[in-house]
Amino acid sequence: MSTERKTVLVAGAQGVIGRAAAEHFSKDAGTTVYGISRRPVEGLDDVRAIAADLLDPADAAKKLAGLSGVTHVVFGAYVEKLTPAERSAVNVALLANLMDAVEAVAPGLRHVTLYQGGKAYGADLGPFKTPAREDDPRLMPPNFYYDQEDHLRRRQKGKAWNFSVLRPEAVCGYAVGNPMNLTMVIAVYAAISKELGLPLRFPGTRAAYDALYQVTSADVLARAAAWAGDAEAAANEIFNITNGDYFRWRFMWPRIARMFGMEAAEPVPMPLAVYMADKTSLWAEMTRKYNLRPTPYEQVVSWPFGDFIFNSGFDNVSSTIKARRAGFHDCVDTEDMFARFFDDLRRQRVIP
């Protein structure tokens, strides 16, 4: 890793990916970190918060006007929309407005990190080629991942800076008020099940229970962003980044149950968005009973996201050999990752 001083601007610093990246870079004594978010950035004392609306070019330019020393941009901002075309338009605008503002004031910009994900391979559409490789052909557009990447490639031509595209899968971490997170889905579902005296029952399909799956620790992904920002081999390249192992829920689920001191039970397909919708008052009671952090129930977890993951009844496997050959070797045992995250959530009083 480079010993040069750097100034990192993290867009979407309140999200799961952005928060982990900001926290990782802030631990480097030679690095100054700015975090952009529409909401206040909580719990990151060493990150300089910037409240900016990246969909407003004038606001972005005004808020970033003084950041002449930015050397690295980590782009983790995202806006959800109903259709692929709408998602593409709004998320390309986020990236374009940020880059317009940064390039106008930061002549020393060296690197931009862009995140994609399984949608680049069609993981949201159904069974896809596995193991997925970075050189697999694209799918039918619109796809906001492709459009953001194309925007960045066009923009980078002839410039002194370069970029890297990182493709994780089901990022696991924690961010305040950011519920689209598999770790939180499992943790809150388990806590509520335990409070009701129920076993921990896998709520998805049998096919999903048996399929091969993979996830990405937000911490591993943050370290990948730090590596990519300085590695010549990462310049203008795409890399799959996962924990490095694969698992089946059939075998992982009983181990997760033991992490909560619970018994596991046979899976029963049960839409969480339906069956967990009435648990707001129960969560409020649990918050008082266990002195938990007072986070509104709808901000704690996204049940539709959990339903999507737990009903993906096909293998989800990406090759990470390209990143390893380029020099990024970080990995983590996924079972250890789950155990550590659940312990962290307890220490932060997010779950009992």
- Residue range 114-133, pLDDT digits in tens: 999 999 999 999 999 999 99
What pLDDT score was predicted for residue 1? 47
- Mean pLDDT calculated for residue range 237-248: 98
Q: Does 7 score more than 90 pLDDT?
A: yes
Over residues 165-176, the pLDDT tens digits come to 999 999 999 876
Computed on alpha carbons and rounded to an integer, the radius of gyration of the chain in Å comes to 20
What pLDDT score was predicted for residue 210? 98
Residue 230: Cβ within 10 Å count: 15
The pLDDT confidence band at residue 181, using thresholds 50, 70 and 90, is confident
Quote the CA–CA distance of 327 and 253 in Å, as a whole number.
33
The pLDDT confidence band at residue 156, using thresholds 50, 70 and 90, is very high
- 257: closest CA among 342, 323, 318? 342
The pLDDT confidence band at residue 179, using thresholds 50, 70 and 90, is low
Phi, psi (deg, nearest 5) at residue 220: -65, -40
- 118: closest CA among 107, 106, 109, 126? 126
Spell out the domain ranges in the chain. 6-170+216-240, 174-215+246-317+332-347
Q: Does 177 score more than 90 pLDDT?
A: no
- Mean pLDDT calculated for residue range 318-331: 98
- Mean pLDDT calculated for residue range 24-42: 88
Is domain 6-170+216-240 given the CATH code 3.40.50.720 in the classification? yes
Q: Does 336 score more than 90 pLDDT?
A: yes
What pLDDT score was predicted for residue 262? 98
Q: In this prediction, what percent of the chain has a pLDDT beyond 70?
A: 97
The pLDDT confidence band at residue 39, using thresholds 50, 70 and 90, is confident
What pLDDT score was predicted for residue 314? 97
